[in-house]
Amino acid sequence: MRLFRSSEILGIAEDALQFALAASEDAHPHEYMGFLRGEDARSLGLERDGTVITDVLVIPGTESNSVSATVKTSQIPNDFNSVGSVHSHPNGVLKPSKEDLATFGRGKVHIIIGYPYEREDWQAFDRNGDPTELDVLDVSLPEGESFFDFTQADIDAELDYDFDDEADP
Ligand SMILES: [Zn+2]
């Protein structure tokens, strides 16, 4: 029985995947990390129930070096409509690290992108770190919205969260 059928992840929009691949390449040799946000499939014109990943959002405060990218958990908004995460492995290994597994419990799907960041150099994982299928969908995203130009003000307005809220589970 699926009480929350509509929250099923149907796939990732081609544009969002391309953005994440390009961002990972830009960050090389450092890790890139972002969060995945979804839209209701029907709002994108699909005749299916579920969620399509349409946005890749970089959280301010990400500390990145060649070894790992970490996010201060207090900077992950509690009410953020995040369906998962995406980050890159500059060493090209498409497997979650021990540190990755520790964070995968949050969110439904986690994407690892590996060097050399070509179209097939990525793998999706479930919250247990097991490889999972993620369809790439050719959907047209709502006009007037661009995830390429997020500013801090945009993010604040979008998320409406409070950095001082320490009620993290
Ligand atoms: Zn990793």
> How confident is the model at residue 119, as a pLDDT?
96
pLDDT tens-digit map of 45-103: 888 888 999 988 876 555 555 445 555 555 555 545 578 999 999 999 999 999 999 98
Catalytically annotated residues: 31
Q: How far is 137 from 134, CA to CA, in rounded Å?
A: 9
Tokens of 20: 């994440």
- Measure 93 CA to ligand 1 centroid, in angstroms: 9
Tokens of 167: 């009620």
> How confident is the model at residue 147, as a pLDDT?
47
pLDDT tens-digit map of 15-55: 999 999 999 999 999 998 888 988 888 888 888 888 999 98
pLDDT tens-digit map of 94-136: 999 999 999 898 889 999 999 999 999 999 999 999 999 999 9
The model's pTM is 0.73
CB-CB contact of 11 with 53 (8 Å): yes
> How confident is the model at residue 144, as a pLDDT?
46
- Measure 49 CA to ligand 1 centroid, in angstroms: 31
Enumerate domains of the chain plus CATH numbers: 5-138+145-159 (3.40.140.10)
- Measure 68 CA to ligand 1 centroid, in angstroms: 7
CB-CB contact of 86 with 117 (8 Å): no
